[in-house]
A and B are shown apart, each in its own frame.
Chain A
Amino acid sequence: MTMPNGLQARQLQWSELETAARRLEGGGRKVPLREMLRFAALYRAACADLALADARQLSPTTVAYLHQLVGRAHNQLYRSQSFRPATWLAELFVVVPRRLYRDNCLRLAMAIFWSVFLVVLVTAYCSPTFAEQLIGKDQMQMYERMYADPIDGKHDESRAGMAGFYVQHNAGIGLQCFGAGLLLGIGGLFLTISNAALLGSVFGFMLTTPERTNFYHFVTAHGPFELTAIVLAAGAGMRLGFSLIDTRGYTRGESLRRAAGESVAPVCAAVVLFCLAATIEAFVSPSSLPYSAKAGVAIVSAAMLLFYFFGLGRRGEVISAK
């Protein structure tokens, strides 16, 4: 094997590697192939020097210097790949729907959300006191006032502000549902059930009031995207939480890491859905379009979601995650 020819000669190469690492840390411009090869060779040489320096118990300063030099160069050499839209699109439209189609956690989240929603809706419709206990008298009056006027596109100037509010508020709730899922799934279950119960009681209560036409006029168009988004986020969170309980033979940590890698794309899809829903909620739902147009929007968006989950999800094998 070859030896370093005197430490001073090596030092020249170390400082060359240091300069190269600093240039790469700056990032941005594309590095020519020759420089990259030179960098890799310098890095390997520095690694060998570090091993030698360690073995020979060279002075601690030198070893410390080489440690940080090799560390910096290592971080540049094994740098994570930059953001590639093409791979993300493939992940979102090929890998994720197939996984979600077979995802028990998503099924569970969907079943819990819709069953609680419907049960509470029917109960609140039948007994006004039930709705009052769930959402409170003040809230009930507020909802009645909100939908007292027919929807005729009066508040056009405030729509952009409302779109921002819907994104911030609804997507925030969705992401909270996701994050809380990590708490063994219990936090996610709790938030899913409480959201479903709140929504169900508002729907049930509004059905009993004279403002019901206005209410349904408003909520139809953006309903499919928004309700699917919250179920999607909650399901992704539950997948994290339950991976700690049912580890499928992995250690708990490894099981969690695998689930985490798989949960990113669904939760990002949920955020996208929330943004779409917010746009519809701000610009279509309060507009003076006839009810049939709004129902059309709802049908088209529901069809898109069905195609995503069933059309894209059913074909082909599941491609396992990272």
Chain B
Amino acid sequence: MPTSKAQLDTVIRIVTPENIAFEYRVAGPFRRLGAYLIDVGLRIGMSIGIWLVLMFTLGSVGLGSVGVGVWLVAMFAFEWFYGGVFETVWNGQTPGKRICGLRVLTVDGLPIRAWQAVLRNFLRIADGMPLLQLGVFRIPLYQLGLFAAASNDRFQRLGDLACGTMVVIEERSRPQAMVRIVEPAALQLAADLPPKLAIDRGVARALGRYVERRQRFSWARRCEMAYHLAEPLRVKLDLPSATNPDVLLCALYHRIFTAEVAEEPSQPPPRPMVAALPGAITVPALAMDEPAPLEIDG
């Protein structure tokens, strides 16, 4: 998986066997600290809870020693297997990571396996160095893990480096696929536009960005912003000068991206892979009913 040497931010690109590159944002130390503290708090809470339950059940029938034994084994399990078991069962998440929207993946973007989940949590002891002794408690300061995370571009601590894993931020917001145009004026205009539209892909992109965000602005501001993109298109399409720029852009968006509802094929055919080639593309091909060849110039 080639990562760009010129990586400036925390976005990692991963190329799948399907030749799709998709992007993950890796989680830095301070995002992970929150999840870690939640997990530590939860562990402390659970150990107190288990202690109380054991003492009230086994303790009350005179089996206090068995209760202590069970509790100590539970302590051992919490200390060493808490992360490993949760990350195996919850596919790379502990309760803290789930609350903070983090997930552990392999560096290839695949879900982690059980041995990776267990091992990266065993090796936490090395990352936690040096330890601060406060009375009977030893508090890991995680300086070594911080140093390791700072020295690679995926923020991997030593345990992550050994297991080939990384912690990524799960996107919370599920973006909508499309904006639906409902204004009658725009739909009317869309129907009147010529059947074949040749729109440069850069223009199409600008169109998309505009229409997705226009709801946030007042009517006057929309017209003002839309004018710069709409005016050349209006001249090119030979429309009357009274055409409202906002309506024109909505109409174009509707025609290019969302119009022409085709029948849903019962089974999608397996598609060959498409390399992302630069160049201007005539967009209307997307909106046509019949399969059409991809037109690429340059």
Question: Could you list which residues of chain A lie within 8 angstroms of chain B, going by C-beta atoms?
Answer: 1-9, 11-15, 38, 41-45, 47-48, 50-52, 54-62, 64-68, 70-71, 74-75, 78-81, 83, 157-165, 167-168, 171-172, 175-176, 178-180, 182-183, 187, 240, 253, 256-257, 259-261, 263-264, 267-268, 282
How far, in Å, is A58 (CB) from chain B's closest CB?
6
Of the candidate stretches B67-75, B217-225, B226-234, B237-245, the one touching chain A is: B67-75
Q: Are A57 and B69 in contact (CB under 8 A)?
A: no
How far, in Å, is B79 (CB) from chain A's closest CB?
7
Chain B residues contacting A6 (CB-CB under 8 Å) are 259-262, 286-289
List which B242-298 residues lie within 8 A (CB) of chain A: 257-265, 267-277, 281, 283, 285-289, 291-294
Identity of the chain A residue whose Cβ is nearest the Cβ of B106 in the assembled complex? A80
Q: Are A81 and B69 in contact (CB under 8 A)?
A: no
Question: Could you list which residues of chain B lie within 8 angstroms of chain A, going by C-beta atoms?
Answer: 16, 18-20, 22-24, 63-73, 75-76, 79-80, 88, 91, 105, 109-115, 118-119, 122-126, 129, 144, 158, 161-164, 171, 174-179, 201-202, 204-205, 207-209, 211-212, 257-265, 267-277, 281, 283, 285-289, 291-294
Cα distance, A5 to B88, chains bound together (Å):
40
Identity of the chain B residue whose Cβ is nearest the Cβ of A264 in the assembled complex? B115
What are the 9 tightest A-B residue pairs by CB atom distance, in nearest-first order?
A59-B208, A164-B69, A164-B72, A179-B125, A48-B271, A161-B68, A5-B262, A160-B69, A45-B268
Known A8-B258, A179-B124; contact A51-B268, beta-carbon cutoff 8 A: no
Chain B residues contacting A52 (CB-CB under 8 Å) are 274, 286, 294
Q: Are B276 and A55 in contact (CB under 8 A)?
A: yes
* 7 CB-based A-B contacts, threshold 8 Å: A6-B262, A12-B264, A47-B271, A56-B286, A161-B66, A172-B80, A256-B162
Chain B residues contacting A3 (CB-CB under 8 Å) are 285-286, 288, 291-294
Q: Are B268 and A42 in contact (CB under 8 A)?
A: yes
Cα distance, A14 to B178, chains bound together (Å):
12
Cα distance, A44 to B269, chains bound together (Å):
9
Chain A residues contacting B209 (CB-CB under 8 Å) are 59-60
How far, in Å, is B75 (CB) from chain A's closest CB?
5
Known A12-B264, A51-B275, A159-B65; contact A61-B126, beta-carbon cutoff 8 A: no
Number of A-B contacts (CB under 8 A): 255
Chain B residues contacting A1 (CB-CB under 8 Å) are 271-272, 274, 291, 293-294
How far, in Å, is B122 (CB) from chain A's closest CB?
6
Identity of the chain A residue whose Cβ is nearest the Cβ of B78 in the assembled complex? A168
Q: Are A68 and B122 in contact (CB under 8 A)?
A: no
Chain B residues contacting A165 (CB-CB under 8 Å) are 68-69, 72
Q: Are B122 and A48 in contact (CB under 8 A)?
A: no
Q: Are B126 and A183 in contact (CB under 8 A)?
A: yes
Cα distance, A60 to B283, chains bound together (Å):
15
Cα distance, A149 to B277, chains bound together (Å):
84
Chain B residues contacting A5 (CB-CB under 8 Å) are 262-263, 265, 288-289, 291
Q: Are B65 and A157 in contact (CB under 8 A)?
A: yes
Cα distance, A159 to B72, chains bound together (Å):
13
Q: Are B22 and A67 in contact (CB under 8 A)?
A: yes
How far, in Å, is A70 (CB) from chain B's closest CB?
6
Identity of the chain A residue whose Cβ is nearest the Cβ of B112 in the assembled complex? A80
Q: Are A168 and B123 in contact (CB under 8 A)?
A: no
Chain A residues contacting B271 (CB-CB under 8 Å) are 1-2, 44-45, 47-48
Q: Are B205 and A57 in contact (CB under 8 A)?
A: yes
How far, in Å, is A41 (CB) from chain B's closest CB?
6
How far, in Å, is B201 (CB) from chain A's closest CB?
4
Cα distance, A186 to B122, chains bound together (Å):
17
Q: Are A83 and B22 in contact (CB under 8 A)?
A: no
- Pick from B76, B178, B258: contact of A172, CB below 8 A: B76
Most chain B beta-carbon contacts within 10 A, residue among A2, A15, A157, A162: A2
Chain A residues contacting B72 (CB-CB under 8 Å) are 161, 164-165, 167-168
Q: Are A61 and B208 in contact (CB under 8 A)?
A: yes
Chain B residues contacting A74 (CB-CB under 8 Å) are 16, 22, 109
Known A6-B261, A12-B264; contact A180-B68, beta-carbon cutoff 8 A: no
Q: Are A65 and B177 in contact (CB under 8 A)?
A: yes
Cα distance, A268 to B119, chains bound together (Å):
10
How far, in Å, is B142 (CB) from chain A's closest CB?
13
Identity of the chain B residue whose Cβ is nearest the Cβ of A166 in the assembled complex? B72
Identity of the chain B residue whose Cβ is nearest the Cβ of A178 in the assembled complex? B122
Q: A47-B273, A65-B175 are in contact. List 6 more A-B contacts (CB 8 A).
A: A1-B294, A9-B261, A47-B271, A65-B176, A70-B16, A157-B65
How far, in Å, is A232 (CB) from chain B's closest CB?
14
Q: Are B174 and A55 in contact (CB under 8 A)?
A: no
- Pick from A14, A75, A161, A240: contact of B162, CB below 8 A: A240
- Pick from A42, A57, A158, A187: contact of B201, CB below 8 A: A57
Q: Are A164 and B68 in contact (CB under 8 A)?
A: yes
How far, in Å, is B137 (CB) from chain A's closest CB?
14
Identity of the chain B residue whose Cβ is nearest the Cβ of A187 in the assembled complex? B126
Known A6-B259, A13-B264, A61-B179; contact A180-B126, beta-carbon cutoff 8 A: yes
